[in-house]
């Protein structure tokens, strides 16, 4: 009976360590990786901006600044067109409501009138 307080204390300590390992340490790990992700994202953004500026200056040295604007503008427009076309590449073009397409549903509603 003399070791009962020691057993209770060790039980409470083991429960506290387990709860801490399941909560605080996991949240701290997620917070650390979130911070690393934000820093990497910001560094990537800065690197992309510097690359675009360097490319523009290189093009402006080879052609006029207006030509550099036109070339980079054309590249960005082409990239935008490509990405815009790819946005629905995996999706169906027709909207389906339940087991009918939208066109079939409108047609049946018009026939019922």
pLDDT tens sequence across 21-72: 888 888 888 999 999 999 999 999 999 999 999 999 999 999 999 999 999 9
Q: Is the pLDDT of residue 90 over 70?
A: no
Q: Give one word for 69, left, alpha or beta, with left for phi > 0 and alpha for psi -120 to 50.
A: alpha
Estimate the crossing angle of helix 65-86 against helix 24-62, to 10 degrees: 140
Going from N- to C-terminal start, the domains of the chain cover 1-62, 65-113
- Global pTM value: 0.55
């Amino acid at each position: 009976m003399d070791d009962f307080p020691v057993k209770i204390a060790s039980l409470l300590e083991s429960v506290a360590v387990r709860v801490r390992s399941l909560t605080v340490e996991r949240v701290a790990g997620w917070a650390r990786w979130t911070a690393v992700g934000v820093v990497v994202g910001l560094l990537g953004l800065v690197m992309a901006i510097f690359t675009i500026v360097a490319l523009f200056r290189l093009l402006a040295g080879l052609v006029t600044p207006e030509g550099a604007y036109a070339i980079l503008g054309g590249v960005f427009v082409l990239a935008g067109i490509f990405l815009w076309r790819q946005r629905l590449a995996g999706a169906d073009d027709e909207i389906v409501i339940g087991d009918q397409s939208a066109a079939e549903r409108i047609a049946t509603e018009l026939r019922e009138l």
